[in-house]
Structure 1
């Protein structure tokens, strides 16, 4: 008798995916840059580097090396600004809860894989009462390297007990999509932050979760079984002179 196949797993990025918050993240970075006397365009910077931990993003905007302790202080300042700006705006991406409920009923494993730290994760998913839908939550504190490295999604797969080829990642960022491919997973992207043409090879590009059902996810996974090879060009994280 053939073995019963393992269930599929859905792994969700947080910022820009389960919440549409990139504009607020960019505003917080821009206020920090103004305070530091930097002219970097924060929105363009995030279009390219969104998905990385804030300290790693900040490391790219200085022409000289900055000590890690100082970068952490800048990141904490940016986090405070972001929370003040986003405090009354916290809400899920349209259709998320209904999709999570349907996916769980259909037998999917569900996880969160983000570059945010534990307190920032809680600031979103506990406020929105979403933690109960996730079998596993993996954040910045659980891995050595953030996106576009594969660590976040590899760790999530292991904790779920589901092999990468049966995991589907939801992302809004170029580096997040690349992290999924490096982990051997396929990806669906959202246009909360970028245009469809900015991504490499997602199974689908959606505006929000009202456009998707668990049956459609299974159909896509079975129709496109191969994982794209990650693009070295898209995974570059250098400062883009923005």
Structure 2
């Protein structure tokens, strides 16, 4: 798995932090405040989108007259404090610290808000593990387009084929592979298509603890 790998790139939501349920609850509440029932296919449709793209989608699908900026601001306010109390995926913090100790440069490639992710990492004391944070909004297109992963590798100064990506969604796995990178699927109980995600990926795990001894063995 780690042969010829020089850098690691991580998605954030559902890959490092257990946040997908939170975003579903936010969508339900946001729409309920406007008298709209949250449709069953919403999470599937917005998978991989940045917040600005989500706002455009919501405006179009639900006929909302609010500005993109006000919607993004409202979502950010609804989730911000809750993010500091979320659980992290099993073994993720140990794996990040071990990878850093072996000198792997690491980056984030996320659909979330840059400042929110930065503040959560800082609060957790692991901001120093990451050389950069790239977002879908910054590159202007959502996953499964490869742009956010290519931007992350560019900022790391590592060729795409030397990067290993950790993702939990099908759009993320596809985007990483379209960027020429190998992809590790990270199990998330809130997604109902694990078989499809794991089949598409190059590797798949239920816990980062599965990788710790493997990484140590690679460096022995």
Fold in common (TM above 0.5):
yes
Show CA shifts across 1:24-71 (max 9, x none).
Answer: 1111111001112222336x422453331123234334347767x712
Structure 1 partner of 2:140: 144
Q: 1:124 aligns with which of 95, 108, 120?
A: 120
What is the alpha-carbon root mean square deviation over aligned residues? 2.7
SS of aligned partner of 2:107: strand
**Higher mean C-alpha deviation, range 55-64 or range 117-126:** 55-64
Structure 1, unaligned runs of 5 or more: 220-242
Structure 2 partner of 1:203: 202
Change (3 A) 1:96 1:36: same
**Higher mean C-alpha deviation, range 179-188 or range 89-98:** 89-98
Corresponding pairs, count: 212
- Give every structure 1 segment of 4 or more consecutive aligned residues whose post-TM-superposition deviation is greater than 4 Å: 64-67, 216-219
Change (3 A) 1:63 1:15: closer
Residue pair 1:49, 1:174 contacting (<8 A) in 2 also: no
Residue pair 1:103, 1:214 contacting (<8 A) in 2 also: no
**Alignment TM-score, normalising by the size of structure 2:** 0.83
Change (3 A) 1:138 1:66: same
Structure 2 partner of 1:185: 181
Structure 2, unaligned runs of 5 or more: none
Q: 1:29 aligns with which of 8, 27, 30?
A: 27
The structure with more helix, counted as a fraction of residues: 2
- Inter-partner Cα distance in structure 1 for 2:45 and 2:205: 19
- Inter-partner Cα distance in structure 2 for 1:87 and 1:93: 13
Q: 2:154 aligns with which of 158, 165, 174?
A: 158
**Higher mean C-alpha deviation, range 164-173 or range 32-41:** 32-41
Show CA shifts across 1:118-173 (max 9, x none).
Answer: 22112321111111111222224542223222111101111111111111111112
Change (3 A) 1:126 1:88: closer
Alpha-carbon shift at residue 201 of structure 1 (Å): 1.6
Structure 1 partner of 2:14: 16
Change (3 A) 1:6 1:160: farther
Change (3 A) 1:56 1:49: same
- Inter-partner Cα distance in structure 2 for 1:218 and 1:57: 42
